Amino acid sequence: MRMILSYAALFLMLCTAAPSLAGPITEQDVLNAEKEWGAAIVAIGKACQVGGDCRAAAGEAIDRLYAYGLAEVLFKPTKAADRQFRPDREGAISYFVGGVASEDHGFALQPWSKVRFGQQKIVVHDCDAIAQGNYYFTDAGTGRESKVEFTFGYVRDNSGRLRIFLHHSSLPYGSGH
C-alpha cells in the first residue's frame, strides 16, 4: 500500500508541477518517444565508432530522454547483475558507455544499427503513460537481431517533452544470454 501511495503522489506531483500546454499524452507521443530513444542508442554507438565523445553523447541523450532532475527515475537495465538499479544519471551513463560500474561494458557501444519497438501495450493517462512489450536491437556487425522485453513509463516535462521515469528491460526467460 505504501508503494502505491508513493507512486500516486509522484504522478499527482508531476501532473500538478508540469501542466502541459501540449495536452494529454497520446499513444502517438509514446511511439515518437520510443523512436527517439532507439535513434539515441544507435547515435551513441556511431559517435564512438568515429572517435567522438561517447560519454558526452550518452549524457546528452540521458538529459533529453530521461526524467533525472525532474522526478525519481526507476531504471533497471538489461545486462546488469551486480548493480541492477540505476537511480542516478551517472549510473545510467555508465550502463550505456561504461565507467562507474565494473560490469558496464557500454550497452550502446555494441554498436547497434537499428532499434525497433515491436508489439506492445500502451496505457495512457492525462499526464503519464506506460508502454510494455518487446524491442529489437540489430547488431551493426552481424545484422542479427536481439529481442529484449521492456517497460517504459513516461511523463511530460515543463516544455511538454516526454521523459522516461521508468525503464525496466530484461532478456526473455530462457533466451540463453
Residue type, 24: P
143: cell is: 545484422
Domain 23-170 in this protein, CATH class: alpha beta
Q: How far apart are the first and last CA of the chain?
A: 35
**CB 153 within 8 Å of CB 65:** no
Tell me which residue of 65, 71, 78 sits closest to 34, measured CA to CA: 65
H-run or E-run covering 95: helix 89-97
Residue 51 burial (CB count, 10 A): 7
H-run or E-run covering 5: helix 2-17
Supply the pLDDT for residue 142: 96
Supply the pLDDT for residue 176: 61
**Per-residue model confidence as pLDDT tens digits over 164-174:** 999 999 998 88
**Per-residue model confidence as pLDDT tens digits over 35-87:** 999 999 999 999 989 999 999 999 999 999 999 999 999 999 998 888 999 99
Pick from 9-13, 64-68, 73-77, 103-107: least confident: 9-13
Give the model's confidence band at 5: pLDDT under 50 very low, under 70 low, under 90 confident, else very high. very low
Give the model's confidence band at 8: pLDDT under 50 very low, under 70 low, under 90 confident, else very high. very low
Residue boundaries of the structural domains of the chain: 23-170
Residues 6+ apart with CB under 8 A from 78: 107, 148, 169, 170, 171
**CB 111 within 8 Å of CB 49:** yes
Calculate mean pLDDT across residues 121-147. 95
Sheet containing 74-76: order of strands = 74-76, 162-170, 145-156, 128-139, 112-124
CA atoms within a 13 Å half-sphere pointing along the CA-CB vector of 122? 18
**CB 49 within 8 Å of CB 109:** no
Tell me the C-alpha distance between 170 and 151, whole Å: 9
